[in-house]
Amino acid sequence: MESEIKKYKIKETPNGEFEIIDLEYLMNNKFDMITTPHRAGFYHVLWIEEGYGTHYIDFKPIKVEKNSLIFIDLESVNLYDKEGDYKGKSLIFTDNFFCQSVLDFKYIKSSILFNDLYGIAKITPIHFEEELKAIFNQITEESKFGQDESHQMILQKLVHLFLLQSERALRKQGVKELAPSPSLTIVNNFRELLEEYYKKEKSVKWYSSQLNLSEKQLHKATKEILGKTPKNAIDKRVVLEAKRLLSHTIQPVKEIAYDLGYDEPTNFVKYFKRHTGTTPLDFRGQF
Query: Do residues 251 and 193 both lie within one domain?
Result: yes
Phi, psi of 6 (to 5 degrees): -60, 140
Assess if residue 236 is contained within a domain.
Answer: yes
Whether the pTM exceeds 0.95: the reply is no
Does residue 1 sit within a domain?
Answer: no
Residue 88, in any domain of the structure: yes
Rg of the chain over CA atoms, in angstroms?
Answer: 20
Long-range Cβ pairs for the range 17-20 (8 Å, 24+)? 17/42, 17/93, 17/94, 17/96, 17/97, 18/92, 18/93, 18/94, 18/97, 18/143, 18/155, 18/159, 19/91, 19/92, 19/93, 20/89, 20/90, 20/91, 20/92, 20/139, 20/140, 20/143
Cβ neighbourhood burial of 233 (10 Å; 0-12, 13-18, 19+):
buried
Q: What is the pLDDT of residue 1?
A: 64
Q: Is the peptide bond before 125 cis (omega within 30 degrees of 0)?
A: yes
Q: Which amino acid is at 49?
A: E
Answer whether residue 97 is part of any domain: yes
Last residue within a domain, chosen from 152, 172, 192: 172
Mutual orientation of helices 102-110 and 151-172 as an angle, nearest 10°? 30
How is residue 114 annotated by DSSP? S
* CA–CA gap between residue 15 and residue 203 (Å, rounded): 41
pLDDT at 2 over 90: no
Nearest CA-CA partner of 85 in 113, 110, 63, 107: 63
- The structural domain count of the chain equals 2
Same domain, 222 and 127: no
Q: Would you call 259 helix, strand, or coil by DSSP?
A: helix
Residues 166 and 44 in one domain: yes
pLDDT in tens, 80-121: 999 999 999 999 999 999 999 999 998 998 899 999 888 899
Using alpha carbons, select from 7, 188, 186, 171 the residue that is nearest to residue 108: 188
191 and 248 fall within a common domain: yes
Residue 204 and residue 93 in one domain: no
My answer on whether 138 and 229 are in the same domain is no
Question: Same domain, yes or no, for 140 and 250?
Answer: no
Report pLDDT digits (tens) over 202-246.
999 999 999 999 999 999 999 999 999 999 999 999 999 999 999
Q: Considering 172, 191, 218, which residue would you say is the last residue of a domain?
A: 172
Residue 238 and residue 153 share a domain: no
Question: 232 lies in a domain?
Answer: yes
Note the pLDDT of residue 255.
95
Sorted by sequence, the CB contacts under 8 Å of residue 212 that are 6+ apart come out as: none
Question: Which CATH number fits the domain that encloses residue 258?
Answer: 1.10.10.60
Q: Is residue 22 part of a domain?
A: yes
pLDDT of residue 144: 87
Q: What is the band of 6 on the pLDDT scale with cuts at 50, 70, 90?
A: confident
* pLDDT for position 82: 95
CA distance linking residue 120 with residue 58, whole number of Å? 10
Provide the domain limits for residue 73: 6-172
Same domain, 41 and 124: yes
Query: For the domain that residue 165 is a member of, what is the CATH number?
Result: 2.60.120.280
Residue 177 forms part of a structural domain: no
Which residue, of 172, 192, 225, is where some domain finishes? Answer: 172
Contact 246, 284 (CB under 8 A): yes
118-162 tens-digit pLDDT: 889 999 999 999 999 999 999 999 998 877 878 889 999 999 999
| Same domain flag for 210 and 84 | no
Residue 11 has pLDDT above 90, yes or no: no
Do residue 163 and residue 98 come from a single domain? yes
pLDDT digits over 13-55, tens only? 788 899 999 999 999 999 999 999 999 889 999 999 999 999 9
pLDDT digits (tens, 9 = 90+) for 240-272: 999 999 999 999 999 999 999 999 999 999 999
Are 211 and 196 spatial neighbours (Cβ–Cβ below 8 Å)?
A: no
One domain, residues 258 and 168? no
Q: Taken in order 122, 62, 20, 83, is the CA torsion positive or negative?
A: negative
pLDDT surpassing 70 at residue 168: yes
pLDDT of residue 22: 96
